[in-house]
Structure 1
Amino acid sequence: MINGDDMTPGTALLLAAAPEGKGRLTDATSVLATLAAVPPSALTGTAVATVVELADPMDPQTVLTRLRAVAAASGPLHLYIAGQLQLDRKQRQVHLALARTTATTVRYSGLPWHWLATELAVRPPGTTTVVVDLVADSETWEQLARAGFGLGPGVRLYGRVAPPPGRRTMLGPSYLKAMAEIWRTGARPPMGQLHELAAVQGGSDGALLFGAGEGVPPSAVPDLVTQHERAHVPQQAGREPAPVPYQSSTTTAPGAAPASAPAPSAVVVRAPVPDPAPDPHPAILSAARAGRHTEAAAAAAAWESEALRAYGPGSAQALHWLEVRADLAHLAGDAGRSCELWLMAAGARLQSGQAVDDAEVEAAVDRAHHEWEQIPDPARVRTLAPDLVGLRRRVPGRQRGALQLLQQRLEQLQIRTPGAAHQA
């Protein structure tokens, strides 16, 4: 590794996906060959670059694994995403459609957009750039027009979302292709200028355009979890307040009255919120109850990131926001994600020194167990089973026979876990 800012390695993830068959609205993967002809340094803005390519992936868990890997990179991260957006008709959540996605299976076969927002929210602000060239189906387009679209604070978002094309018409990722063609000439304009050129050359009439919008920050999402409205989150009485977040505003002079929250596509300037900071929980809950699950999840993840930086892993503040995220996944109807987050919370509490019979540890394991029982996808059930069994063996809880019930369920599903044969 060569030291020095000029040699800081960057990472680019190229993700192109669209459903197979007649539900396909865009030829997303056609852009990959064009982007592959671009020098990697142009994709990342760094002299040294790593490029990861995902072409028509089928499994959302595979995409999530790759996202986590690139999100862990310490240098600048650029994501280039071409594809189509579809709505889960039951939960009204936006998904990036994958190769096997259909209108009826999108909840299980697509990548929930809030997963992407959550994974990127833990990165240092200003180190992540996402460029999208997306097409929305009719239902998703209507929802985006009402609720907006973003990836949370700290993420620079460029690109477009096009409305659904006419019948028997397929759109191409012309915005990203135009961007790649500009790079191939040897030009390296700033991203904002590049976005404007690509939007014009790619033909973006009628599309939603994003020019470095930073999504919705924690303070801009109106009110999750109040002391009296929490369905599952433990009371936080006696704990220190969470660190002060950042608040988006227009370029208002210091001391001037703050402007109203900008639209997701607005260019914003970030300024510290003066004390006392408002309680963010009611705002996040309001967003989740209104069906804006991506916004709510991104806001909670941003607060968790602030808590991690201010107080460190294993702190009461960071654990609280991790559990809020688990509750949000529950409210969004994503039992698998909720189970995963509750497992993480239980493991973090144990690692921080809490006893196996601590009420908060037991509650986290119980909730992970409950969410696991609600997961409809057998593959996801099998993936999470070993971690749940390992924790349940350490933390049997106060519900008699919980471990036995879990083992019976595993036997019914024909799932074998390490050490199962040695359990009484």
Structure 2
Amino acid sequence: MPGTVLLLAASPLGRGRLVDAAAVLPVLAAVAPAVLSGADTANVVELADPVEPQGVLTRLRAAAAAPGPLTVYLTGQLHLDRRQRLPHLALARTTSATVRYTAVPWHWIREELRLRAPGQTALVVDLHADPEVWRHLHEHPLDCGRTTAVYGRIAPPHGRRGPAEPSYMKTVATLLRSGHRPPLDDLHQQALARIPEEIPSNILLAPVAATAPQPYPAIPHPTPGGDPGFGPAVGAQQTYGGPVGGSAGAGTSTGAVVEAEAPLDIPAQPEPPALENPAPDPHAAISTAVRAGRHEEADAIAARHQEAAADEHGPASEDALHWAEVRADLAMFAGDAARSCQGWMEVAEHRLAAGQQADAPAVEAAVDRAHHQWGRIEEAARARELGPMLAGLRARVPGRRQGALEDVRRQLRELQRI
């Protein structure tokens, strides 16, 4: 099965540019697609200094929907938006005052990759941080989701005039130009070994080990971003500098608070006792069913876990809402846009009723997805039925795209004429 590769290099034009991100693309583009992907063949999509966040989201969504392995090579810089204090990937038009509207929220990237099958997605990053987001990352490590294996580094503000070099990604590209792609953990270590002078000040990212299986019917607990995704935890560990001879992943797991500035000396943890009859991972079972076209079976698995979570923690708990979100996505995969739309609206209503703010990422994401699915409903009567509820939500959760509420109202008016 062919793989998919997304080459994304983005940084602002003008004085706000921290890294010359696009400089790495000619080197990466010279690598054979199969080597970039690690598959026999691959489709490669290149985005150089994109302008529109929605355009990046569209390309990322298409790449995430492709079957087979996906590798994203991402070079750019991170900023915080001033309102929600969330990391964003800056684009060509991004300034410190317009981050919220001209940059890509990092949780968009996590969300688009979260439903891919375990072991099928890798994110290789060379990111540079402005002073504000650099301080933020020491208390709130970058959340990349549970099913995406992440390799790379985050560099601090360099304090020099002019943009920095994406030396990590250039080194990765140079190594790949040999025509051989080693396992990504080896590639990561080889790249770090070639830039030793930068390592002590960098945040290093590498996969965490998969968690031990839990006895049935344990429910996965959400990450700080509110969504554990499918499959075992592979995500990323965040390490602050340190020698390159050892594991780049030895450090503090995503979501923990890190106060150390020096390399962390963490004693080895004892191996957990093996379970005689480990329960199968429900997320993996769902992914298998979806790939095989058994959509009703996938939804039935998720429904059982949603019911169990609601009974134990309440229908508005994060555990129950996670499974509600999974079911909304499963409806999308099954081609049932109306059910998906309704599912996402119910998630949004639960979150709002629980006191979450209208501009909270999980609330905005739920309403945005409901809006997207509503636009895909082919039956006019069903779209008319769900439209008023969506309009009511849009009035409370306008989202980041201007005119979203008016778009719903305009389409409703057109539906009334059918």
CA 343–247 in structure 1, closer or farther in 2 if over 3 Å, else same: same
Number of equivalent positions? 342
Separation in structure 2 between the aligned mates of residue 121 and residue 37 of structure 1, nearest angstrom? 29
Match of 1:221 in 2: 223
Establish whether residue 381 from structure 1 lines up as the match of residue 398 from structure 2: no
Establish whether residue 207 from structure 1 lines up as the match of residue 210 from structure 2: no
Deviations 1:308-343 (A, max 9, x none): 289956597995356436857933279975653332
Match of 1:366 in 2: 392
For the 8 Å contact 1:41–1:48, the answer to whether it is kept is yes
For the 8 Å contact 1:26–1:84, the answer to whether it is kept is yes
Establish whether residue 185 from structure 1 lines up as the match of residue 185 from structure 2: no
CA 391–152 in structure 1, closer or farther in 2 if over 3 Å, else same: farther
Matches within 5 A, 1:18-29: 18-29=11-22
How many angstroms does 1:366 deviate by?
A: 1.8
Separation in structure 2 between the aligned mates of residue 134 and residue 161 of structure 1, nearest angstrom? 5
Separation in structure 2 between the aligned mates of residue 302 and residue 145 of structure 1, nearest angstrom? 32
For the 8 Å contact 1:355–1:361, the answer to whether it is kept is yes
AA matched with 2:253 = A
SS at 2:138 equivalent: helix
Separation in structure 1 between the aligned mates of residue 317 and residue 159 of structure 2, nearest angstrom? 38
How many angstroms does 1:279 deviate by?
A: 4.0
Separation in structure 2 between the aligned mates of residue 34 and residue 172 of structure 1, nearest angstrom? 13
CA 30–214 in structure 1, closer or farther in 2 if over 3 Å, else same: farther
Deviations 1:150-193 (A, max 9, x none): 22121111111111111425321111111111112233211111
2:412 to 384, 391, 398: 391
Match of 1:324 in 2: 347
How many angstroms does 1:15 deviate by?
A: 0.5
Separation in structure 2 between the aligned mates of residue 214 and residue 392 of structure 1, nearest angstrom? 52
Deviations 1:180-231 (A, max 9, x none): 1111223321111111111221343221111124999951436979xxxxxx
CA 350–369 in structure 1, closer or farther in 2 if over 3 Å, else same: farther
Separation in structure 2 between the aligned mates of residue 214 and residue 301 of structure 1, nearest angstrom? 24
Deviations 1:347-401 (A, max 9, x none): 68896986845xx764233213443xx4675xx427x754542235547xxxxxx
Match of 1:342 in 2: 370
CA 155–321 in structure 1, closer or farther in 2 if over 3 Å, else same: farther
Separation in structure 2 between the aligned mates of residue 189 and residue 223 of structure 1, nearest angstrom? 32
Separation in structure 1 between the aligned mates of residue 87 and residue 79 of structure 2, nearest angstrom? 6
SS at 2:207 equivalent: strand
SS at 1:79 equivalent: strand
Q: 5+ residue gaps in structure 2?
A: 212-218, 236-250, 257-270, 273-277, 283-304
How many angstroms does 1:110 deviate by?
A: 0.6
Match of 1:9 in 2: 2
Match of 1:115 in 2: 108
Separation in structure 2 between the aligned mates of residue 146 and residue 198 of structure 1, nearest angstrom? 26
For the 8 Å contact 2:24–2:166, the answer to whether it is kept is yes
How many angstroms does 1:58 deviate by?
A: 1.1
How many angstroms does 1:145 deviate by?
A: 0.9
Separation in structure 2 between the aligned mates of residue 68 and residue 112 of structure 1, nearest angstrom? 14
Establish whether residue 264 from structure 1 lines up as the match of residue 254 from structure 2: yes
Q: RMSD value over aligned CA atoms?
A: 4.5
Match of 1:171 in 2: 164
How many angstroms does 1:137 deviate by?
A: 0.7
AA matched with 2:347 = V
How many angstroms does 1:245 deviate by?
A: 6.7
Separation in structure 2 between the aligned mates of residue 323 and residue 213 of structure 1, nearest angstrom? 33
Establish whether residue 125 from structure 1 lines up as the match of residue 118 from structure 2: yes
How many angstroms does 1:281 deviate by?
A: 7.2
Separation in structure 1 between the aligned mates of residue 409 and residue 208 of structure 2, nearest angstrom? 39
SS at 1:219 equivalent: coil
SS at 1:70 equivalent: helix
Deviations 1:22-65 (A, max 9, x none): 11111111110110111111111111111111111111111111
For the 8 Å contact 1:131–1:157, the answer to whether it is kept is yes
Separation in structure 1 between the aligned mates of residue 11 and residue 222 of structure 2, nearest angstrom? 32
2:93 to 97, 100, 103: 100
Separation in structure 1 between the aligned mates of residue 225 and residue 176 of structure 2, nearest angstrom? 43
For the 8 Å contact 1:133–1:159, the answer to whether it is kept is yes
For the 8 Å contact 1:222–1:282, the answer to whether it is kept is no
Identity of aligned residues (%): 38
SS at 1:85 equivalent: strand
AA matched with 2:80 = L
AA matched with 1:206 = S
Separation in structure 1 between the aligned mates of residue 182 and residue 70 of structure 2, nearest angstrom? 18
CA 134–245 in structure 1, closer or farther in 2 if over 3 Å, else same: closer
- TM-score with structure 1 setting the length: 0.67
Separation in structure 1 between the aligned mates of residue 156 and residue 279 of structure 2, nearest angstrom? 34
For the 8 Å contact 2:147–2:231, the answer to whether it is kept is no
CA 247–62 in structure 1, closer or farther in 2 if over 3 Å, else same: closer
- TM-score with structure 2 setting the length: 0.67
For the 8 Å contact 2:364–2:399, the answer to whether it is kept is yes
Separation in structure 1 between the aligned mates of residue 159 and residue 314 of structure 2, nearest angstrom? 42
Q: 5+ residue gaps in structure 1?
A: 1-7, 226-242, 251-260, 286-298, 396-421
AA matched with 1:381 = G
SS at 1:331 equivalent: coil
Separation in structure 2 between the aligned mates of residue 100 and residue 283 of structure 1, nearest angstrom? 38
How many angstroms does 1:123 deviate by?
A: 2.2
1:53 to 46, 53, 66: 46
Separation in structure 2 between the aligned mates of residue 345 and residue 113 of structure 1, nearest angstrom? 22
